[in-house]
Amino acid sequence: MLGLKSRLLRCKAWPPSSATAESLDPAKPIEEEQSPFYDPAHFYPAKLGEVLSGRYQIATKLGHGARSTVWLARDLNQLKWLKDRYVAVKINATGTRENSSQHELDIHRHIAEANPRHKGWEFVRQLRDAFVLDGTSGYHVCLVFEPLREPLGAYRTRFKNSIIPPIYFRIMLHMILNALDYLHSECHLIHTDLNPNNIMVTLEDKLLLEIAAREEYEDPLPQKHLEDGRTIYLPRSNYGPPRRAAGLVEITDFGLAVSGNEKNDGVIQADMYRAPEVILEKGYSYSADIWSLGAMMWDCLAGKELFHEVDEGDDYNEERHLAYMTALLGPPPKNMVQSGKPSSQFYDADGNLQHPDLIPQNFNFEGTLSYIKGEEKQKFIDFARRMMKWDPNQRSLAKDMLDDPFLTMDVPSRADEIESNKKVSETN
């Protein structure tokens, strides 16, 4: 509890805004209403200006997930003469996933405490606070974080052809691999859902948060008002082109993370980033995250998913995915096919695909990249091959990838440094 003196010194909540927002059609679903898991009885009816847990005043909406909404909030515990401090508050839904919300909270606490001295610690999103809110059908677990700019999937669109220049992306890969090494070797966690939307770029200027909050207060975005008193808000999370080319990145969203010390099976990962052992239901371990990272690199360096053609009209086809993997990597090991639970759906008794015509004839590592050329392209392909292997046990560990020639090609050698210093000395 804050003492009287502390309460007098902290920021005051903004009064209710006098601005009027345009009303949206109440019959048309928007935002979290479009989630297949949406239920108004389980989603918290947050309101702009509301103060959560006696501390966090909602300023604007940042977005939503399948079972949550995320809000930009003013931290009223900031001293009144200092600049406003903003946080991102994730409000989880109640209901069937209530235990999952507690699981996510427990995972974040474990991540924070495992080993803060590890290089990868700062590249994993850290929990700042947590609290619960009473709801009509249970309690809502709320997680508080530092606000971030945007997911990597959105950040890449800031660049021409949605391709992040390799010199910048290599820096990001260093951060991601350090973060994965921290999760795998120190926390003993498998993320299970690594994709460009769960890796976020940090904000280069916190003034952008103040601008977003003020704009929503003075000129709110259109809102949808429902008969039960709920309001559905549009998000204000587009901060425009970044002021610097490359920021830090953080791995986020650990609601589906599992322990790597246990035997794990079942379906994980977004379709395009799914590892072959997951499709074949052979169980999975840390190397499933490595596969996902390998596959998602194409999003940033080629401007599209590596396996984008296996999603036919939003209908994911597992057999077609295995066929494309075969074109890329060659036939899978027979023991891998024979021990897969659903293998008979895809392969014959000899371990061959039942429909070999699905294997594309012109799909290979070299043909999927047009922006990268020459030696840099070959080094990237060699780098990717270390992550994308049929056998999970043959994929490189995150920490072993950090000194790969593709990642270090922008780093000057000691000889280059000596020669450069020599030229500067001769000039002077």
Active site residues: 193
CA distance 427 to 311: 59
Beta-carbon contacts of 412 under 8 Å, excluding residues fewer than 6 positions away, are: 420
> Per the structure block, which two tokens stand in for 144?
């508080």
Alpha helical stretches, state H, 136-268: 152-155, 166-181, 207-218
Please tell me the distance from the alpha carbon of residue 217 to that of residue 62, in angstroms, as a whole number: 14
Supply 18's token pair. Answer: 């006098």
Alpha helices (H) in 130-264, listed in sequence order: 152-155, 166-181, 207-218
Do 215 and 320 contact (CB within 8 A), yes or no?
no
Q: Residue 55 is encoded by which pair of tokens?
A: 């501390």
Q: Check if the beta carbon of residue 379 is closer than 8 Å to that of residue 406.
A: yes
Residue 176, CB half-sphere, CA atoms under 13 Å: how many?
25
Distance separating alpha carbons of residues 379 and 365, to the nearest angstrom: 12
Find how far residue 120's CA is from the centre of its chain: 15
Residues 6+ apart with CB under 8 A from 81: none
Q: From residue 129, how far is each of 48, 121, 143, 148, 187 by CA, in Å?
A: 20, 17, 6, 16, 20
Burial level of 149, CB count in 10 A (0-12/13-18/19+)? Answer: buried
The owner of tokens 């390998």 is 294
Burial environment of residue 28 by CB neighbours within 10 A (0 to 12, 13 to 18, 19 or more): exposed
Helix (H, G, I), strand (E, B) or coil at 87: strand
Q: Return the structure tokens found at 17.
A: 């805004």
Half-sphere exposure of 344 (CA within 13 A, CB side): 1
Q: In angstroms, how far apart are the furthest CA atoms of the chain?
A: 78
